[in-house]
Amino acid sequence: MKSAFVALTGRPSAGKSTLMNTLCGHKISIVSPVPQTTRNKVRGIYNDRRGQLVFLDTPGYFSGEKKFNSYMHDVLSGALSEADILLYLIDLSRPPGQEEELLAGLVKKAKKPLVIGLNKSDLPGADAAAANAMIDKFGLTGEKIVLSGLSGTNSGLLLDKLFAAAEEGEPFYPGEYYTDQDPAFRISEIIREKAILKTRQEVPHALYIEIADMEMREEGKRLWVRGFLCVQRESQKGILIGRGGAVIKAIVQEAQAELNGIFPYAVQLDFRVRVRPKWKNNDSLLKHLIR
């Protein structure tokens, strides 16, 4: 049997979470068109007769100076050093640019077995020439593979390459596990995804989810969860509530429907919107939220 930790890295929106979900066959990480959707190290577990691969989805590499970004960088660095294999995803639909080069430098410095995914190959503008030139410039020596995480192109081939790079070893998790996220995190993430998908501009970046209470009711048949969608400004709160509460209502309904398909009990959400102006500078909160 083989087993390995595989860290997924790439710029924001390169398609890391989508690919991990496709490979593992479950919705594990949340996905949206908004860059910096993933803020945590999210584990997705793939098992077959060859062994086990534990994928580490990470926040997209973003070269900003702010405190919030530095916490996400720490999550990424932790995953890169923890991993046995790196899976570096390059979005072929966007020119590489300076940020991609900074990340390529980090990948090179990690000195780990490397597989490079040339992703979003399904898009009409996908162009591998610029990505290949950058890979050569940095002397990245990993296996290269053209992918589409969205449509699953070459997923089987990618798994073959990852198992080829993996060492022999026992599985890290029992075979029936596909993630190790606790219910509170999973619930928060799914609410955050629905909120990101229903809002625009600055709201997704200003948002975090706070869970205040969780209580199992009706002899384990229903989990009641109370909490808050927290944003930085009154105007953002107004957007999230919507006219007559329509937006928050839709977010809660969609999140509940998805959660009911995940857990073996019903999930009942009681959520309101709150303003927390300076949360992105609050170290103890960031330490709890971004890990």
Ligand X SMILES: Nc1nc2c(ncn2[C@@H]2O[C@H](COP(=O)(O)OP(=O)(O)OP(=O)(O)O)[C@@H](O)[C@H]2O)c(=O)[nH]1
User: Under the rule (CB under 6 A), what is the footprint of ligand X?
Assistant: 10, 12-18, 31-33, 35-38, 59-60, 119-120, 122-123, 148-150
In terms of CB distance, is 209 or 225 closer to ligand X? 209
Judge whether 41 and 34 are in contact, CB under 8 Å.
no
Using Cβ positions, the residue closest to ligand X within the complex turns out to be 60
Q: Minimum CB separation from Mg ion for residue 234, in Å?
A: 29
Both tokens of residue 190? Answer: 């799914």
Task: Give 230's contacts (C-beta < 8 A, 6+ positions apart).
Answer: 207, 208, 209, 210, 273, 274, 275, 276, 279
Shortest reach from residue 58's CB to Mg ion, in Å:
8
Cα 83-85-90 angle, rounded to 5 deg: 110
Residue 142 touches which member of ligand X, Mg ion, none, C-beta under 5-8 Å by kind: none
Total number of residues that touch Mg ion (CB under 5 A)? 4
- Binding to Mg ion by CB under 5 A, coded x per residue (else -) over 77-106, reads ------------------------------
Residue 35 interacts with, from ligand X, Mg ion, none (CB under 5-8 Å by kind): ligand X
Cβ-proximal residues to 267 (8 Å cutoff; 6+ apart), any chain: 187, 222, 223, 225, 256, 259, 260
Give dist(CA 252, CA 255) in Å, integer: 5
| 38 scored as a contact of Mg ion (CB under 5 A) | yes
Q: Which of 227, 225, 229 is nearest to 268 (CA)?
A: 225
- Under the criterion CB under 5 A, does residue 17 sit at the interface with Mg ion? yes
Paired tokens of 150: 């969205």
- Select the binding partner of residue 149 from ligand X, Mg ion, none (C-beta < 5 to 8 A, by kind): ligand X
Q: Please provide residue 126's backbone torsions phi and psi, each rounded to the nearest 5 degrees.
A: -60, 130
Q: Which is nearer to ligand X, 85 or 90 (CB)?
A: 90
Residue 122: name its binding partner from ligand X, Mg ion, none (Cβ under 5 to 8 Å by kind).
ligand X
* Residue 44 near which of Mg ion, ligand X, none (CB within 5-8 Å, type-dependent): none
CA-nearest of 5, 23, 30 to 258 is 30
Q: Which residue number, 196 or 225, has a Cβ lying nearer to ligand X?
A: 196
Least distance in Å: CB of 34 to Mg ion?
Answer: 10
Q: Which residues bind Mg ion (CB under 5 A)?
A: 16-17, 37-38
